[in-house]
Amino acid sequence: MTPSFRTLRHIAVASSLLFGLASQHATAADSGKITIMVGGITKLIYLPARLTEQLGYFKDEGLDVELLSQPAGVDAENELLAGAVQAVVGFYDHTIDLQTKGKDVKAIVVFGQVPGEVEMVSTKAADTVKSMADVKGKTLGVTGLGSSTSFLTQYLAGQHGIQSTEYTMLPVGADASFIAAIKQSRIDAGMTTEPTVSALLKSGDANVLVDMRSVEGTKAALGGTYPASSLYVQAAWADSHKAEAAKLAHAFVRTMQFIHTHSAEEIAAKMPDDYQKDKPLYVSALKASLPMFTTDGKMPADGPTTVLKVLSAFNPSVKGKHIELAKTYTNEFVGVK
């Protein structure tokens, strides 16, 4: 039977609709949107992520960037490996850890030349915990097990000959959940960042035990600079998206320069209101955090070896393994305009 004109017309319309939907899907898939997962977007160690967006630098580069947040860096890392996001703002040490697991991931912009982490001790436990030499039998808070805070905690305790079996590490996240863990005495001490540090100092619920917000404090604790907050991507993505990687790096380097040429008050004025419910506290936390940031997004020369030393001491994946540090980061993109 010969199909009628109406039937042919219906087939044409249906085909057109299917083609349109397929094209729409392809356009969405190839839209060029870059999704970045941040390991706790309100943490000041990761300030450059939201600040770059607020300053309009992503748009200046012609980039469509979406920022998402996970409370722990180890979760953000998993999102990257699953292909759910193109980049992560998290600790550089993940790139070393992942190399031992056969994953080629590299930092393309370094934000923090030091961790920006602070070991806080609850005022209730302050009489018995005066340094990391006193943590035997105590419960120590970390953002997540297997996170950067857990490795740093183990290293600091290990410096005093205390094994990880001699204390308990409890994952308590960051921000409000960390503060709650201190207030409820679920942890005796714990590692966190600004603005949580300033909030605990203001409330009187905790004191500083080890301060790694400055280069001096970090060198005293770890023996060198410790590049931490960074933008890292899968090496294959960087190789196949060199233009986008360079634009991302350029946007972030502009932000690093903004940070070093503006006051804490001026930087705070650019941030969303919900980041600074207590504005004086936020500004105070910012002032304490500014020394941690690089000026140019480049990897500090002695940084990778310090990080490897810490990870080799307590990360079972890294201990005793040969690591090609040159593959864990690149300065290739930060100098590209």
pLDDT in tens, 271-316: 999 888 899 999 999 999 999 999 999 999 999 999 999 999 878 8
pLDDT at 15: 44
Q: What is the pLDDT of residue 73?
A: 58
Residue 24 is predicted with a pLDDT of 36
Same domain for 97 and 233, yes or no, is: yes
Q: Is residue 48 part of a domain?
A: yes
Q: Are residues 108 and 121 in the same domain?
A: no
Q: Among 188, 175, 135, which Cα is nearest to 158's?
A: 135
Q: Are 84 and 40 contained in the same domain?
A: yes
- Same domain (yes/no): 150, 179: yes
**d(C-alpha 273, C-alpha 278), whole Å:** 9
Rounded to whole angstroms, the Cα distance separating 26 from 113 reads 40
> CA nearest 140: which of 113, 179, 163, 167?
167
pLDDT at 318 over 70: yes
From the CB of residue 216, how many other CB atoms can be counted at a distance below 10 Å?
12
Which residues have a Cβ under 8 Å from the Cβ of 242 and sit 6 or more positions away? 333
Torsion, Cα of 279, 284, 287, 289 (10° steps): -90
φ/ψ of residue 220, rounded to 5: -65, -40
Number of domains within the chain: 2
pLDDT averaged over every residue in the chain = 89
Dist. CA 255–CA 261, nearest whole Å: 10
Output phi, psi for 233, to 5 deg: -140, 165
Do 149 and 292 fall within a single domain? no
Residue 27 falls inside a structural domain? no
Whether residue 246 sits in one domain with residue 100: yes
Give mean pLDDT, residues 248-254: 97
Asked if residue 289 and residue 232 are part of one domain, the reply reads yes
- Cβ atoms of 115 and 303 within 8 Å: the answer is no
Q: Can you tell me the mean pLDDT for 221-238?
A: 95
Examine the domain organization and report whether 153 and 234 are in the same domain. no
Q: Are residues 103 and 184 in the same domain?
A: no
Taking each helix axis as running N to C, give the angle between helix 215-222 and helix 303-314, from 0 to 180 degrees, rounded to the nearest 10. Answer: 40
Torsion over CA: 214, 216, 222, 225 (sign): positive
Q: Which long-range contacts (CB under 8 A, 24 or more apart) does 264-270 make?
A: 264/290, 267/47, 267/51, 270/51, 270/54, 270/55
pLDDT on residue 71: 66
Domain containing residue 173: 117-212
What does the pLDDT read at residue 317?
85
Q: How many Å apart are CA 318 and CA 79, to the nearest integer?
A: 21
Token couple for 141:
């808070």
User: Do both 232 and 321 map to the same domain?
Assistant: yes
Domain boundary among 156, 187, 212: 212
Do 197 and 132 belong together in one domain? yes
**Count H helices, E strands: the chain?**
14, 10
Higher pLDDT, 315 or 252: 252
Q: Which pLDDT score is estimated for 31?
A: 55
Is the predicted pLDDT of residue 22 greater than 60, yes or no? no
Could you tell me the pTM of the whole model?
0.84
Question: What are 50-100's pLDDT values in tens digits?
Answer: 999 999 999 999 999 999 997 665 678 888 988 899 999 999 999 999 999
Phi (first) and psi of residue 104, to 5 degrees = -95, 95
CATH code of the domain covering residue 121 = 3.40.190.10
Q: Is 333 part of a structural domain of the chain?
A: no
What's the pLDDT at 76? 81
Q: How confident is the model over 229-257, as a mean pLDDT? A: 97
Residues 293, 318 within the same domain = yes
Q: Domain boundary residue among 190, 212, 234?
A: 212
Give the three-class secondary structure for 126. coil
